[in-house]
Structure 1
């Protein structure tokens, strides 16, 4: 076998080292960027989960508000019916009072 003469001068060696250093620096930057992207994705996912949870809570609040409004409407209708029934009883009592008054006037 023939032995190859592989000679690199100082300048070429320095260029190779500079290239390797630049390459390593770029690899580190890429790893840092990838790590940052992963962190941002995790934060984004967490934020989306929180927003979804809050949206669900808001939906529950809206349902409760609707239920309260419906209850208030029913309560108002019930109060209205009771008020009308009391007014009817009052009219009947007033009519009975007049009849009793008329009866006593006729008999005295």
Structure 2
């Protein structure tokens, strides 16, 4: 009986897990994240390719992959056969001048 309130509180306080990849010197063109829902089937064997179509320059400044308790439960209950995630990205500005890339 005491476990019910604890489970309810844990369920209501669920959070999201983030994986973030950013470039060293970001040059964001916009301050908003554009999101795409992605689902991999068959342990990653079949996944529809998603395109970052909001970027005019085809350059990305930052990429985040989010998952939540519900998405994680789907992955666990299907033993990894279905893996939903939300991908968020920010576009970069077009470089203004030519230069060299330092390693």
Q: State the TM bucket, normalised to the shorter chain.
A: under 0.3
Q: Which has the larger radius of gyration?
A: 1
Q: TM-score, normalised by structure 2?
A: 0.24
Tell me which protein shows more strand as a share of its residues: 2
Structure holding more helix per residue:
1
